[in-house]
Structure 1
Amino acid sequence: MAVFWIQPATFLAAYYHYFHGYGELIASHAADPSYEVALPGLCQPLRIRDFPSFLVDTTGGEVGKLVNDAFRELFEFMDEQGHGAKFLVNTFDELEPAALAAMRRYLDVFAIGPLVGSSAEARIHLFDHAGADKKRYMEWLGAQPDMSVVYVSFGSIWTYSKQQMEEIAQGLRQCGRPYLLVVRKDGRQEDVSSCLDDAVLKGQGMVVEWCDQPAVLAHPSVGCFVTHCGWNSTLEAMALGVPVVAAPSMFDQPTNAYLIEQCVAGVRGERNGNGVFAGAELARCVELVMGSGARAVEIREGVEALKGMAREAAVSGGRADRNLRSFVTDTTIH
C-alpha cells in the first residue's frame, strides 16, 4: 500500500512522532506556543506554534478530533505493514533533507515534488472561475513595475470576516504599493462590499474573485505573496521564486510557515488574540520582504535559490522523477 502525502515531510514527521511516543509530551505543553519539542532527526526543534494546529488544539473541537483520529488509524494500519509502508510526499529533497532522511528510518518515503501545475485549464478547481477575466488582471499586472505588486490570496477555503477584510484593506493602504487581492463572492462571511470599494484606491489595486495563481506568481511585477500558507500555495511560491508573507491559521499552515522561515523564503505574520491578521502587521511584513533592507535582500536570494532547486528536482530526469521511478520499481519487485 502507498499513501500520497500532500503535505510536507515535516508535517509527516510531526504526526508520525505524535502517535509514536511524543503525543503526551506535545499535548501536555499545547498551551505554551513557545515550548520546543525536538523530534528525532529534525535539525531544529518545533515550537508548539509550529505543529499542525489539530495536534495542539486545546479547544476540544470536533473537527480536530476527527482529523487526528483519521491520522491515528492511518499510522496504525501502516505500522502493520512494517517498513514496507510507502509514502509519496509532495516535497523535494533539497527543501526538507533532514525531515526526509529522518522519516526514511521508519517508512519508505519518496519525495516526488514539487507538484506544481502550469496550466489553469489542466487543473481541477474547487470553485467555478468561468467568469474570471484573466486578460484584465494580467494586463493590469503588465502595467506595473517589476517586483512591485503585493499579491494577496488566502486560498480556496478561507472565508473573510468583515473585520479581517477591513484590516487587509487598511494594511494595503498603509503599504502604498500596487496590489492584486483575491476575494471570492462565496468567501465572504459578511457583506464586505464597503471594504472592497475602499480598498481599490485610485488605481492602486485590483480586486478579483479568482485568478490563475501560477500565472500571477510567475509575472515579473509580483514582488511578494501574502498567503494563508496552504502547502500548494507555499510550493508554488517557492517554485516560482516569490517571497512570502505567511499568515497561517490552521491544519498544516503553521508547519508550512515554519518551513518558510527555515528556508529564508519569507516572514511569518502574527495574528492577534482574535485570530485576525491586523493591517499594521501585514504592512510590516510586506516591508520586510519588499523593502531595501538586509532581510529583504536575504529573502530574495533565498527564494531564487529555492526556485532553482525546485526546477532541477521537477525536470525530466531530476530528483523527483528518479524518486518516482524508484517507487515504481520497488513496488513492482515487491
Structure 2
Amino acid sequence: MNHHHILLISQHPHGHLNPSIQLAINLTRVGARVTLATTISGFHKLKSLPPHHNLSFASFSDGHDDDPNAAKSPGYVHDLKRLGSENLANLIQTMSKTGNKITLLVFTLFLPWAGSVARQLNIPSALFLIQTATSFSIYNRLFNSRDGIFTVNKHIDSNNSFSLKLPGLPMFKQGDLPTFALPNNPFFADMSFVMQQHLQFLDENPNTHVLINTLNGLEHDSVKSIQNSVVVGPLVNSFSVSIDQEPYFQWLDLQSDKSVVFVSFGSMSVLTKTQKEEILHGLIEFKRPFLLVLREDDIEINELNKKVGGKGLIVGWCAQTKVLNHRSIACFVTHCGWNSVLESMVAGVAVVGYPLFADQTTNAKMVEEVWGNGVRIGVGEGMVVVREEVKRCLKVVMGGGERAEGIKKRVEKWKKVAEEMVEDGGSLMLNLKLFLESVH
C-alpha cells in the first residue's frame, strides 16, 4: 500500500470536526500519515486533543480569524471559497517545501472548492460526507445541473409545498427535507451555491471517491446511488478522557438499568424558553428519572435542579458518547444531528427525535419510518412541542407493547451491525485500506 500523507480539512463546528477527527485516527490505523486542518478561528479545538501517532494539526484562514460564528452569516460561503482556496493552496505548497508532501486531500461536505484546489495542484481528492447518504441524495435531487428541482424551477414559490421521492424510500414531504435546502430559509442561497458546486465537481471528476459516515445496509439505495462511494462509518468519538467521577456519572450509577431518559440537543441548537419548559414538564410528568443537558449558566441550572427535586438531573454539559453507553440509559431524546443518531445506534439506545434545523428533520424521518429505531416528536407553531407529546413519545419507546418491542429489535439490529463493522477485521478498516490502495 502507498504510504499516504493525507490532508483532511473540515469546518470547525463540533458536528464537522468530531467525525473528521475519528476518520483521521482510523486512517492512521491503516498506515497513513494525516494532517487535520480547520479554520484559524476553530484551531484551538484541535490543539486541545491528546496526541496521536501519525496525526498532526494545521489551520487555514477563512478571512474571519477572530469570529468563530462567521459561518452563521448568510454569504459566508463566498468568503470561504475565495480566501479558503488561496490559503489552502498556500498551506499545501508550504508543507510540500518542508518535506511534508500531500498525496491525498479529503474535504468535508460544505467545502466544495477544496476539490478544485486539489485538482489544480494535481493531488487526488475525496469528498467526506458528514451527513447521511440520504441527505446527499436529496441535495442531488434538488440541485443537480440536469434535472434538479430547484435548478429547473429557479423561481419556485416557497409557499407551495412539494414532496420528493427517492428510490427505496418513503415519500419525503417538505417538512422532512433539510431546512437549509428550502427556499424560505435564509441560508437557501448559500446551500444552493455549495451543493451545486459539490455536484458539479463530482460530475467533472467522476473518479473522485465519496466517503460516507454510515452503517452497512442502513442506507442501501442512497449509498448505491452515489458513484465511487465508500462506507467509512460508524465514526464515533474515541477521544474520551477520564471523567467517570463527574457528578452526573455518580448519579447515573445510582439508577436502575434501562431506566433513565437522556435528553441532549447538541452543541449548536438553541431552545426557546417555551420549548425548554414544555420538555421539562413532560419529563417530570412522565415520572422516570432523566438526565437533561441544557447550555445554561450554573445559577440557572442550580435553580432548575431545585425545581426538579429528585426526579432528574440537569447539567450544562456531558460526555455524550459515554453517557449513551451507560447501563442506566433507556432512550435518547435528541435533535437528531447525524453524529448523535449514529452514536445512539452504536450504543444500542432508542431515539425520540425532536429535530430543529438542517438535516435533523431528514434524520428524524428516517429514524421513525425507515430505520425503525425510534419515534419523531410532533411539533406545533414555532417548533414547540407540548408536554403531552413528549410523554406520548416516551411511552411509545419505554412503555412496552408491540411497537416498543419492534423498536427494541431494530435498535439491537443496528447495534450488532455497528459492532461487526468496527471489530478487528471488520468492514470499516477493510474499506479504508481498499480505498487508500486505489488512490494513486
- CA displacement at 1:295 relative to structure 2: 0.9
Aligned to 1:149: 260
Structure 1 residues 329 and 199 mapped into 2: Cα distance closer, same or farther (>3 Å)?
Answer: farther
1:211 counterpart (318, 332, 335): 318
Aligned residue for 1:128? none
- Residue matched to 1:84: 207
Give the match for residue 283 of structure 1. Answer: 391
Q: Provide closer, same or farther for how the CA distance between residues 66 and 112 of structure 1 changes in structure 2, counting only shifts above 3 A.
A: same
Match of 2:357 in 1: 250
> Whole-Å Cα distance in 2 between the matches of residues 314 and 165 of structure 1?
37
Take 1:167 and 1:6, find their aligned partners in 2: how far apart are those partners? Answer: 31
Q: 1:178: how far off?
A: 0.2
- Structure 2-normalised TM-score? 0.66
- Percent identity (aligned): 36
Change (3 A) 1:215 1:22: same
Matching residue of 2:184? 58
Number of aligned positions between the proteins: 311
Q: Secondary structure at the match of 2:414?
A: helix
Relative CO higher for 1 or 2, CA cutoff 8 Å, sep ≥ 6?
1
Deviations 1:146-191 (A, max 9, x none): 11100000001112221111111111112111000001237x9xx9
Spell out the pairing of 1:1-334 with structure 2 (5 A cutoff): 1-20=125-144, 21-24=147-150, 28=156, 31=159, 35-39=162-166, 41-59=167-185, 61=186, 63-81=187-205, 83-103=206-226, 107-121=227-241, 134-185=245-296, 196-197=304-305, 199-201=307-309, 203-261=310-368, 262-332=370-440
Structure 1 residue identity aligned to 2:197:
E
Gaps of 5+ in 2: 1-124
Task: Give the C-alpha shift of residue 260 in structure 1.
Answer: 0.9
Mean Cα displacement is larger for which, 321-330 or 257-266? 321-330
**CA deviation after TM superposition for structure 1 residue 64, in Å:** 2.9
Distance 1:140 1:67 in 2: 43
Secondary structure of the 1:327 match is helix
User: Shift of the alpha carbon at 1:194?
Assistant: 9.0
Q: Secondary structure at the match of 2:313?
A: strand
**Aligned residues of 1:223 and 1:242 also touching (Cα < 8 A):** yes
TM-score (norm 1): 0.86
Preserved contact between residue 279 and residue 387 of structure 2 (Cα < 8 Å): yes
- The alignment yields a C-alpha RMSD, in angstroms, of 2.4
Could you tell me how far 1:319 is from its partner in structure 2?
A: 1.8
CA-to-partner distance for each residue in 1:52-86, whole Å, 9 max, x for gaps?
A: 11222424x1x2322331122222222211x2121
Separation in 2 of the partners of 1:32 and 1:289? 34
Q: What is the alpha-carbon distance in structure 1 between the residues aligned to residue 312 and residue 393 of structure 2? A: 18
Q: Is the 8 A contact 2:176 2:362 kept in 1?
A: yes
Given the superposition, is the C-alpha separation of residues 218 and 273 from structure 1 closer, same or farther in structure 2, using an over 3 Å criterion?
Answer: same
